[in-house]
Amino acid sequence: MDAEFWKQAWFEGRTGFHRSEYHPQLLEFFPLFEAKNEQSILVPLCGKTKDLTWLSHQNLYVQGIELSEKAVREYFSDNSIENYNVEDNTYTHQNLTLEVGDFFHHEKPEGYDYIYDRAAIVALPPSMRVDYSAHCLSLLKPGGKILLITFEYDQSKLDGPPFCVPEKEVNQLYAKEGTIELLNKLSDKPNNPKFKEAGVTTFIQKVYLITKKEA
């Protein structure tokens, strides 16, 4: 699954993963960050999520990374933001910056205080998740935290995205450099028609707080 897959998905409007409201798990568990004013948070593979707006209202410097320029432009138009600056594929409005590009090429030497992963790791096949998680950890300051949301379902019935990312894999990816706390587990019947048609009867959402170990 390459960059062109996601660019084409946005071009064709195949964006059923986009939510029109703030994610309830972000609202519930964000206080665990204990964030201070003007700290920084990274949102990988951000699309045009409204969560960017909510985070920017928390007095944080918010950095989103997204492959699709169409998604970034739609974020600003959907939220009626006109006075933004554009330079070198980077869109900036006040304390919010959206970069159009490949997350794996994004660098920030000083690191981020937090990462919010709502729909990033679940968008990637297993072959990409080792590099993805390692890059996230490399961008995170020691003591920094990740709020991670994953899905679990019978992957044999339906291929992703979104992909099943089991708890065992989360531990394999992050435990070496961080401590992992399972915050919430929600089990329900899938409401996406393609899951129903494939015979997926159970869909589990898990929320983790990952804290990078101090150097």
| The residue to which tokens 């205080």 are assigned | 113
Strand pairing category for 61-66 and 85-87: unpaired
Q: Please give the structure tokens belonging to residue 215.
A: 């150097």
By CB neighbour count within 10 A (0-12 exposed, 13-18 middle, 19+ buried), where does 114 fall? buried
Q: For 75-110, what is each residue's pLDDT tens digit?
A: 999 999 999 999 999 999 999 999 999 999 999 999
Interior CA angle at 115 toward 59 and 38, to 5°? 20
Homologous superfamily of domain range 3-13+21-212: Vaccinia Virus protein VP39 (3.40.50.150)
Number of helices and strands (H, E) in the chain?
7, 9
pTM (global) more than 0.75: yes
Q: How confident is the chain (215 residues) per 10-residue block, as mean pLDDT?
A: 58 57 96 97 96 97 95 94 95 98 96 96 95 98 98 92 95 97 91 85 95 92
Residue spans of the domains in the chain: they are: 3-13+21-212
Radius of gyration of the chain (CA): 17
Task: Say if residues 210 and 183 touch (Cβ distance below 8 Å).
Answer: no
- Residue 30 CB neighbour total at 10 angstroms: 20
